[in-house]
């Protein structure tokens, strides 16, 4: 099984911009700046999905469904991709206006509520999903 750094190298070998985003996400994560790492991971995943689905305009979930229907990803891989985008949208829409709003995701097999305004939320999300998102991006870049 590949490590995050190996996957970042693999992605960077096929696309310089995505490789740079991988390195930024990893660097932020290693500095425990989980929110910055989350935001970078969001951009990385969205760019990779949209590019592969040839869907630079329109709804991101349509691009994810296009990859699924073309068997570039499986049903299980749609879950973290859509959760990532949902959380990114929630941050954009509510982070500054409703700081006590919470995210829900399965860090341990059960959905747990994590407040958006706590660094631990982003740390848990990244620990749960970062490697998976990197694997999916590497897969769709092939």
Q: Is pLDDT of 24 > 90?
A: yes
The distance of Cα 115 from the centroid of its chain, to the nearest Å, equals 18
pLDDT the model gives residue 34: 94
Question: Contact at 8 Å (CB) between 140 and 68?
Answer: no
Residue 40, classed as helix, strand or coil, is helix
**Who has greater pLDDT, 69 or 120?**
69
pLDDT the model gives residue 105: 60
The domain tally of the chain equals 1
pLDDT the model gives residue 111: 65
Domain of 108, CATH number, reads 1.20.120
Distance CA(80)–CA(65), nearest Å, equals: 13
Distance CA(20)–CA(16), nearest Å, equals: 6
**Structural domain of 83:** 4-141
Number of alpha carbons in the 13 Å side-chain half-sphere of residue 126: 25
- Work out the average pLDDT over 41-67: 91
- Work out the average pLDDT over 109-119: 68
Radius of gyration for the chain, computed over Cα atoms and rounded to the nearest angstrom: 15
The pTM of the full predicted model, rounded to 2 decimals, is 0.86
């Amino acid at each position: 099984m590949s490590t995050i750094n190996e996957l970042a190298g693999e992605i960077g070998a096929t696309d310089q911009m995505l490789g740079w985003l991988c390195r930024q996400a990893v660097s932020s994560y290693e500095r425990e700046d989980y929110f910055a790492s989350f935001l970078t991971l969001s951009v990385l995943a969205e760019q990779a999905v949209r590019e592969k689905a040839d869907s630079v305009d329109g709804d991101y979930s349509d691009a994810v469904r296009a990859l699924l229907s073309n068997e570039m990803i499986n049903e299980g891989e749609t879950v973290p991709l859509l959760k990532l985008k949902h959380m990114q949208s929630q941050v954009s829409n509510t982070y500054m206006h409703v700081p006590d709003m919470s995210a829900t995701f399965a860090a341990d097999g059960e959905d747990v509520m994590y407040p958006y305004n706590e660094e631990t939320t982003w740390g848990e999300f990244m620990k749960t999903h970062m490697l998976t998102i990197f694997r999916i991006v590497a897969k769709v870049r092939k």
